[in-house]
Amino acid sequence: MHPRRGRLLAGLTGATLLSGVGMATGFSMSASAQATYEIEPRAPEYLYARTCGYCHGHNIAPIIRGRALPPAVTAAIVRSGMGAMPAFKPTEITDAELQALAEWLAQSEADPEEHGG
Amino acid sequence: MSNGFSRREVMAIGGAVASTAAMTPLARARMMPQDMDRDVFAGVVRELRAIVGDEWVFADEASTISYRKSGIPDLRGEHVPSGAVAPANVEQVQAILALANRYRLPLWPISTGKNMGYGMATPASSGQMILDLKRMNRILDFDAELGTILVEPGVTYQQIHDYIEDNDLPYWVDVPTVGPIVSMMGNTLERGVGYTPYGDHFFMQCGMEVVLADGTILKTGMGSIENGNTWQAFKWGYGPYLDGIFTQSNFGIVTKLGMWLMPRPPAYKPFMVRSPNVEDVAAITDTIRPFRMNNLIPNGVLIMGALYQMSMFNRRADLWDGEGVIPLDVIQRHARANDIGMWNTFYALYGTDEIIAAIEPILTTAFEATGADVLTEAEMGGNPYFEHNKTLMRGGMTLEEKGLVRWWGRSGGAVAFAPVAPAKGGETIGQTQLATEIMNKWGFDYAPAYAVGGRELHHIIFLMFDKGDDEHSRKAEQCMEEMITRFGERGWAAYRSSVSTMDLVADQYGAANREVNARIKQALDPNHIIAPGKQGIA
Ligand SMILES: Cc1cc2nc3c(=O)[nH]c(=O)nc-3n(C[C@H](O)[C@H](O)[C@H](O)COP(=O)(O)OP(=O)(O)OC[C@H]3O[C@@H](n4cnc5c(N)ncnc54)[C@H](O)[C@@H]3O)c2cc1C
């Protein structure tokens, strides 16, 4: 199933780029060791920064931090994809992750760096 | 610009939470597979649950809501799935296929299902069950010497980007403009594009694993050599090259995909060529072509129309509240106020400072001769339009272009038409004139971009409409049909299409093509269980 398991990234030496930038040697993390998030849920801040925050608070979609949005509303909007927003499936963000994200969002302070959309 | 949901909206949404379907009038009710009665379907669902676990089968109104969302017109409910099933591994994919063959259950595979502008996760015909591969979400291999990666379907560009950063690997990943939420797999299988020198994604693809309808596991290229280690290094293998037939196709389920990554260059310099007039696109195209052919410009160049750019950060009402389409002089005025031209061309140089210094003046002189300004970080740094493409040309993460989907307002709506043409000035002028004429006739703003590959260009036209208004959706549908048809009469056809226009476009590629595809389909998937209708293949 995972034919390359464990053999990657090991024993790298002396490779250089155009300008002679050396690459790290002895790097040996196996990519197949990546746990799926069904086992290791991702934190709300992490999810916000890597998905929501690209649009919300970035001139593309409404600001949603610091607005005490009811968690049930947030969760429903994420699953259905209101308006121009895409829907996010349980395979992209698990129910447990979504609940934690929605609760975190409801409690979150407004971020002065963010701008509306 | 408004700052958020109004209180009334929050109340309305809150009231409807109990019935999720009710809050999205745009989503249609689930539809059963054609020719399958309800009891049989219920039995199939039970068996699917036994394969993947209860929580990974979605077969009722509420739990399928995410899979029904799409931003394209679907007035007659022709692209509504019956449900979704999400396997965790290849063995489960095989078991699902066996079941689907037994019951003739049509399956529509998706990797992340963010095929935005083309139908998202929705199928070519109603009743298909979405085969959601997103749970298979691991980077399986990253060879740091060769700069190759082997990914499962659910791996997003963001995940690869993070992996590279976390492990300080000297590579860049090339992304489409919507990298954070979409997959390397889905994008590459659709033969999507990005904007670094590795922008032609299928060109940079190397080796795949495919599960065929009968459960056979095929590893293309060098992938099946016993004890082999060349799968991601050499594309062509031995005998007929097969990878291509699994792209934009319904001949198999791709479960692993190899790609090449670009070595991170020591130096990077982005440029913007600002052209003041609509007609300038011809001279710009003729200037780009030889430099793309001799590789002095190495990356996927974007010639962005001002309105496309402004649709990222503005809503239509911010620019225009008059009758009809937005007049050119209004677009021009807003463009000037934002320090951009009517066309803004983005290319970049990569390598060392010395290499860049040697090439830069050759390009600058050539573009200035078209009457344009050639601008760099020094003049444009901080300008959001410059920053956007600066991010893309180094494979950075952004979703700013998602903004165009809500051009007409909250409901959103955008469907893409992407005809290809030779990279010649006359072609761009011809296509721009034809698209403007047709779109304006239907009341839509022409907001274009051209992505210039080597010898060709993709004309990216997002038809932005209001999906909350059925009449507007109907016009969008008719406008799209007219564009595809009339471009076709001129010999211009799309490189890819929305699920709603697959037959129309497939016809333009001719009967022999359709017939050969049908024969391959019959040989590989005689029960037609994988994505019937995909690219016009039954
Ligand atoms: C504003 C905007 C900007 C965009 N910019 C770009 C851009 O710059 N470049 C670009 O290329 N696209 C662009 N897109 C289009 C689209 O969003 C991307 O191409 C996206 O990568 C496709 O979605 P996905 O990766 O989730 O693929 P999916 O939706 O998962 O897959 C797309 C299709 O490929 C097939 N498929 C997927 N996985 C498999 C599999 N494992 N086996 C067999 N068949 C499979 C299916 O038919 C599926 O419907 C843009 C869209 C919008 C709205």
What percent of chain A lies above the pLDDT cut of 90?
63
Cross-strand partners of B303: B345, B450
Of B110, B111, B87, nearest to B99 by C-alpha is: B87
Q: Among the atoms of ligand 1, which is closest to the Cα of residue B531?
A: 47
Tell me where in chain A the CATH 1.10.760.10 domain(s) lie.
41-117
Q: Would you write out chain B's pLDDT as a tens digit for each of its 538 residues? A: 343 455 444 444 544 443 443 344 455 788 999 889 999 999 999 999 999 999 999 999 999 999 999 999 999 999 999 999 999 999 999 999 999 999 999 999 999 999 999 999 999 999 999 999 999 999 999 999 999 999 999 999 999 999 999 999 999 999 999 999 999 999 999 999 999 999 999 999 999 999 999 999 999 999 999 999 999 999 999 999 999 999 999 999 999 999 999 999 999 999 999 999 999 999 999 999 999 999 999 999 999 999 999 999 999 999 999 999 999 999 999 999 999 999 999 999 999 999 999 999 999 999 999 999 999 999 999 999 999 999 999 999 999 999 999 999 889 999 999 999 999 999 999 999 999 999 999 999 999 999 999 899 999 999 999 999 999 999 999 999 999 999 999 999 999 999 999 999 999 999 999 999 999 999 999 999 999 999 999 9
| Contact in structure between B488 and B420 (CB atoms under 8 Å) | no
> Do B449 and B305 meet the contact criterion of CB atoms below 8 Å apart?
yes
Are the CB atoms for B273 and B374 separated by under 8 Å? yes
For B269, residues 6+ apart whose C-beta sits below 8 A from its C-beta are B348, B349, B350, B356, B360, B376, B377
Instruction: List B residues 187-206 in contact with A (Cβ-Cβ < 8 A).
Output: none
- pLDDT, tens only, A8-59: 333 333 333 333 333 333 343 445 556 667 778 999 999 999 999 999 999 9
Chain A residues in contact with B16 (beta carbon < 8 A)? 76
CB atoms within 10 A of CB B329: 8
Q: Which of B20, B86, B89 sits opposite A79 (nearest CB)?
A: B20
The partner residue sitting opposite A29, judged by closest CB among B167, B411, B412, is: B167
Report phi then psi at B390, rounded to 5: -60, -40
Residue A34: predicted pLDDT: 63
Residue listed under structure tokens 């259905």:
A80
Query: Which residues 6+ apart lie within 8 Å of B195 measured at CB?
Result: B174, B175, B177, B299, B300, B301, B302, B346, B389, B392, B393, B395, B451
CATH 3.40.630.30 fits A41-117, yes or no: no
**Structure tokens, B247:** 């792209």
A46 touches chain B (CB under 8 A): no
Assigned CATH class of B139-263: alpha beta
Query: CA B472 to CA B296: how far, in whole Å?
Result: 44
**To the nearest whole angstrom, how far is the Cα of B42 from the nearest Cα of chain A?**
21
Length of chain B in residues, anyone? 538
Do the strands B301-305 and B343-351 form a parallel or antiparallel pair, or are they unpaired?
Answer: antiparallel
ipTM of this complex prediction, to 2 decimal places: 0.93
Question: How far separated are the first and last CA of chain A, in Å rounded?
Answer: 45
B320 touches chain A (CB under 8 A): no
CB B316 within 8 A of CB B447: no
Q: What is the DSSP pairing of strand B456-464 with strand B448-452?
A: antiparallel
In whole angstroms, give the CA distance from residue B77 to residue B28. 7
CB A55 to CB B403 under 8 A? yes
pLDDT for position B27: 58
Contact B453, B297 (CB under 8 A): no
Closest CA to B404 of B276, B304, B273, B327: B304
Tokens of B227: 């004890």
The type of residue at A92 is: E
Looking up tokens 């793309």 gives: B292
Pairwise CA distance, residues B29 & A39, whole Å = 32
Q: Which CATH class is domain B26-132?
A: alpha beta
Do A43 and A99 meet the contact criterion of CB atoms below 8 Å apart? no
Sequence spans of domains, chain B? 26-132, 139-263, 267-497, 503-536
Q: Which residues lie across from B171 on neighbouring strands? A: B263
Phi, psi at A40, each rounded to 5°: -115, 90
Contact, A64 vs A74, CB < 8 A? yes
What is the C-alpha to C-alpha distance for residues B328 and B107, in angstroms, rounded to an integer?
46
Q: Report CA-CA distances (Å) from B199 to B177, B191, B193, B392.
A: 11, 10, 5, 10
| Pairing assessment for the beta strands B148-151 and B253-260 based on DSSP bridges | antiparallel
Q: How far apart are CA B505 and CA B536, in angstroms?
A: 8
B47's tokens:
């068996």
Q: Which of residues 133-172 of B touch A (CB under 8 A)?
A: 134-135, 137-145, 150, 154, 158, 162-163, 167-170
B67 contacts in chain A (CB < 8 Å): 87, 89
Instruction: Quote the pLDDT of residue A7.
Output: 35
Q: What are the CA-CA distances from residue B82 to residues B29, B40, B125, B254 (Å)?
A: 9, 13, 10, 22
Residue B369 zone, left/alpha/beta (φ > 0; ψ -120 to 50; rest): alpha
Nearest to A12 among B63, B144, B264 (CB): B144
- Residue showing tokens 């492990």: B167
Query: CB atoms < 10 A from the CB of B430, how many?
Result: 16
Mapped onto helix, strand or coil, the DSSP state of residue A31 is helix
CA distances from B321 to B40, B182, B441 (A): 53, 34, 18
Q: How confident is the model at residue A90 (pLDDT cuts 50, 70, 90)?
A: very high
Helices and strands (DSSP H and E) totals, chain A: 3, 0
On chain B, the residues whose CB falls within 8 A of the CB of A12 are 144-145
Q: What CATH number should be reported for the domain whose range is B267-497?
A: 3.40.462.10
Contact of A19 with chain B, judged by CB distance below 8 Å, is answered with: yes
**Alpha-carbon gap, residue B260 to B142, rounded angstroms:** 10
The neighbouring-strand residues paired with B260 are B148
Tell me if B174 sits within 8 A of B196, measured CB to CB: yes
